[in-house]
Amino acid sequence: MKPTVQTGARAVNYATSPLLASKTPPWRSRFMLVVVALAFLVLAGRAVYIQAVGTDFYVKQGEMRYTRTLVLPASRGRILDRNGVVLATSVPAPSVWAIPKDFEADVAQRKALSGLLGMTLQELRERTAGEGEFAWLRRQVDDAVWNEVKALGIKGVHRHGEFKRRYPEGEAAAHVVGFTDVEEAGQEGIELAFQKELQGKPGSRGVVRDRLGRIVEDTGARLEPVNGRDVTLSIDSKVQFFAWQRVRDAVAQHGAKAGSVVVLDAKSGEVLALANYPSFNPNQRQNLSGGQLRNRALTDIFEPGSTMKPFIAAWALESGRVTPQTPIQTAPGSITITGSTIKDAHPHGVLSVAEVIQKSSNVGTVKLAMQMSPREMWELYAGVGFGQKPQLDFPGAVTGKLRPYKTWRPIEQATMSYGYGVSSSLFQLARAYTVFARDGELIPVSMLKRQEPVAGLRVISPKTAIDVREMLRMAAGPGGTAQKAQTIGYSVGGKTGTARKQEGKSYTSNKYRAWFVGLAPVSDPRIVVAVMVDEPSKGVFYGGDVAAPVFSEVVQQTLRMMGVPTDIEVKPQIVFQPGAAEVESF
């Protein structure tokens, strides 16, 4: 009987099926069996390779897709003034980034996002296009900006915590502090000079992220960041701000191109202020010019003019050639050296050595200088730091120019005695005057706060230094060239300088630099102050009229803030204005 299978209402007779009735060659069955076996072997081999042989590769590929090593930024060290006032600090600043392949936003969201991040729609499209895993949208935004971005609810946009540098003193201390780039690497000033100390060492953290960028779990060890070290400067932020204000006002008042002020502590060699104008706001550095960034007090060199005369007088005294009372014949107000004539601004006749400095006589200074050998003068100038780069923990300080004495011609030696043919920065000039403030010692200077007194290098004797201080007092007093340098309650001494600017190989007839450098109080100097105003253009250009008043204001304010007692009697004065209801006494 033939076998049948009942399936529902219909029966199928397999014995009569044409498919089963056909004869299948044995090799075909064996072939199919081999194919299936080989397929299983391939799959088994692949499984073994993935699970045993190529494990590291596939684990790495998985980690690339889902695990990240997050950098834990170290907080950059603060920059402080000598009293602990913060000049630079780091504050948290979120950065906005995106996963381009996950980025989804409609037209309104894109427009709002580009507006918040300060970018064009085209820039946003370019950064979020493609199948990438990461793209910065904007670095270091304010918390308020990130909160608004987050509120847009755009898929694929995320936050990364970073730090941003803040400079509370703004323009006033910009050239001292400098600034960093977006990665918090120092670019200028103290930020650059002390990059190693300030930067710290970042840490790390391994995490697993899901496809939306969210952290699922931590992996591996966590390395904590090491924050940077604070740097305490010698700068006094109050002195710095006041000096910057005064030179800014002088530049505006005289229609000048620029100006600088340097204030040194005559006892310790610490830099209390280093101010320049024009300046810049280190918190907003878009569209800055080279003129704003230039630290003119350190980088600009000029012929120091009559401010060099006290050094010639000092060496004439030190070498025993003259005394402060030795008469010098300056009539008829001119002197000729190898065919070239040097003149005084005003003829004076016979002057003592002290009066030569008081009246700023070119002729008298030249007569003192020509008694010296070129080598003597060169050693004197080099001894007080001219022609040498200041040993200062600060970038940009220049060397200046002091030619070898063997190349000097007589007329060049003569002009160098009153500051032509030699060049220096304002900072070098201020440091040179510490010789007079420190009783003949040239002291090392520092931008960092010092805890201990420093020893200086002996250049002249204490007696010579005291004699020259008296000459500087006369120069800043009645009958001198800088009466506007006087202050209330403090004796001051100093020397003016006014020189035509050199352009090419000749001197201009209408462009000047005006400066004044001096010390106070004369009886026991505490500070040295140097002021330079570049190209005053409103008819007044002499150092005694342009730079000396800035010196006066800076000295008076600084000594008061330092608590230095007055050393001269303050006489009450009454200022009466007709029609005024009150009088003012000071």
Give residue-wise pLDDT tens across range 418-443: 998 999 999 999 999 999 999 999 99
Q: What is the mean pLDDT of residues 398-404?
A: 93
pLDDT of residue 140: 83
Residue (of 238, 296, 230) closest to 272 by Cα position = 238
Q: What is the mean pLDDT of residues 473-485?
A: 90
pLDDT of residue 129: 86
Specify the pTM: 0.81
Distance CA 582, CA 575 (A): 10
Which stretches within 276-389 are classed as H helix?
290-293, 296-299, 309-318, 353-359, 362-369, 374-383
Distance CA 322, CA 306 (A): 20
Classify the phi-psi angles of 316: left when phi > 0, otherwise alpha if psi is within -120 to 50, otherwise beta.
alpha
The DSSP code for 316 is: H
What b/e string do you get for 119-131 counting C-beta neighbours within 10 Å, with b at 16 or more?
eeeeebeebbeee
Tell me, yes or no, whether 240 lies in a domain. no
Same domain, 273 and 162: no
Residues in the chain: 586
Tell me, yes or no, whether 15 lies in a domain. no
Burial (CB count <10 Å: 0-12, 13-18, 19+), residue 482: buried
Tell me, yes or no, whether 55 lies in a domain. no
Q: What is the mean pLDDT of residues 171-194?
A: 91
Tell me, yes or no, whether 110 lies in a domain. yes
In the chain, what is the straight-line distance between the N-terminal and C-terminal CA atoms, in Å?
141
Asked whether the predicted pLDDT for residue 577 surpasses 70, the reply is: no
Torsion of CA 366, 369, 374, 375, to 10 degrees: -160
pLDDT of residue 18: 65
Answer yes or no: are the C-beta atoms of 493 and 469 closer than 8 Å.
yes
Distance CA 47, CA 58 (A): 12
Percent of the chain exceeding pLDDT 90 equals 51
Same domain, 331 and 220: no
CATH of the domain at 341: 3.40.710.10
Same domain, 267 and 382: yes
Residue with more model confidence, 398 or 201: 398
Contacts of 28 (CB under 8 A, 6+ apart): none
Tell me, yes or no, whether 504 lies in a domain. yes
The DSSP code for 155 is: B
Tell me, yes or no, whether 20 lies in a domain. no
Confidence of residue 17 (pLDDT cuts 50, 70, 90): low
Distance CA 89, CA 83 (A): 15
pLDDT of residue 207: 64
Distance CA 423, CA 377 (A): 15
pLDDT of residue 68: 64
pLDDT of residue 184: 83
Residues 445-470: pLDDT tens digits? 999 999 887 889 999 999 999 999 99
pLDDT of residue 582: 35
Question: Strand 79-80 relative to strand 231-232: parallel, antiparallel, unpaired?
Answer: parallel
Residue with more model confidence, 112 or 205: 112
Classify the phi-psi angles of 247: left when phi > 0, otherwise alpha if psi is within -120 to 50, otherwise beta.
alpha
Contacts of 396 (CB under 8 A, 6+ apart): 295, 298, 299
Residue type, 239: V
Tell me, yes or no, whether 460 lies in a domain. yes
Same domain, 261 and 326: yes
- Please tell me the total count of domains within the chain: 2
Same domain, 282 and 144: no
Percent of the chain exceeding pLDDT 70 equals 88
Range of the domain at 110: 69-232
Confidence of residue 471 (pLDDT cuts 50, 70, 90): very high
CA angle 295, 300, 305 (to 5 degrees): 135
Q: What is the mean pLDDT of residues 171-199?
A: 91
Answer yes or no: are the C-beta atoms of 142 and 93 closer than 8 Å.
yes
Same domain, 173 and 210: yes
Asked whether the predicted pLDDT for residue 552 surpasses 70, the reply is: yes
Asked whether the predicted pLDDT for residue 575 surpasses 80, the reply is: no
Cβ atoms within 10 A of the Cβ of 164, count?
Answer: 20
Which residues are registered as beta bridge partners of 94? 161
What b/e string do you get for 487-517 counting C-beta neighbours within 10 Å, with b at 16 or more?
bebbbbbbbbbbbbeeeeeeeeeebbbbbbb
Asked whether the predicted pLDDT for residue 20 surpasses 60, the reply is: no
Instruction: Give 404-410 contacts, CB < 8 A, sequence gap 24+.
Output: 404/378, 405/374, 405/375, 405/377, 405/378, 406/374, 408/374, 408/378, 409/338, 410/337, 410/338, 410/370
Residue with more model confidence, 8 or 109: 109
**Within 13 A of 135's CA, how many CA atoms are on the CB side?**
19
Give φ, ψ of 585 to 5 degrees. -115, 135
pLDDT of residue 22: 61
Range among 184-188, 268-272, 346-350 rated most confident = 268-272
Same domain, 336 and 362: yes
Asked whether the predicted pLDDT for residue 517 surpasses 50, the reply is: yes
Asked whether the predicted pLDDT for residue 8 surpasses 60, the reply is: no
pLDDT of residue 45: 79
Residue type, 173: A
Which residues are registered as beta bridge partners of 328? 351
Answer yes or no: are the C-beta atoms of 277 and 244 closer than 8 Å.
yes
Same domain, 206 and 311: no
* Cα–Cα separations (whole angstroms), residue 432 to 300, 366, 421, 520: 16, 20, 17, 15
Cβ atoms within 10 A of the Cβ of 470, count?
Answer: 15
Same domain, 165 and 276: no
Q: Mean pLDDT in the chain?
A: 86
Same domain, 280 and 360: yes
Asked whether the predicted pLDDT for residue 553 surpasses 70, the reply is: yes
Same domain, 137 and 269: no
Same domain, 513 and 451: yes
Q: What is the mean pLDDT of residues 333-354?
A: 92
Answer yes or no: are the C-beta atoms of 491 and 551 closer than 8 Å.
no
Residues 41-80: pLDDT tens digits? 888 877 777 777 767 776 666 665 566 666 677 788 999 9
Tell me, yes or no, whether 44 lies in a domain. no
Asked whether the predicted pLDDT for residue 354 surpasses 90, the reply is: yes
pLDDT of residue 237: 96
CA angle 425, 254, 486 (to 5 degrees): 70
Q: What is the mean pLDDT of residues 114-131?
A: 86
Range with the poorest average pLDDT among 236-240, 395-399, 493-497: 395-399
**Catalytic residue IDs:** 306
Answer yes or no: are the C-beta atoms of 546 and 264 closer than 8 Å.
no
Residue (of 172, 149, 175) closest to 160 by Cα position = 149
Confidence of residue 218 (pLDDT cuts 50, 70, 90): low
The SS3 assignment for 290 reads helix
CATH of the domain at 130: 3.90.1310.10
Residues 279-288: pLDDT tens digits? 999 988 777 7
Answer yes or no: are the C-beta atoms of 132 and 100 closer than 8 Å.
yes
DSSP one-letter string for 402-453: ---GGG--HHHHHHHHTTSS-BEEHHHHHHHTHHHHTTTEEPP-BSBPPSS-
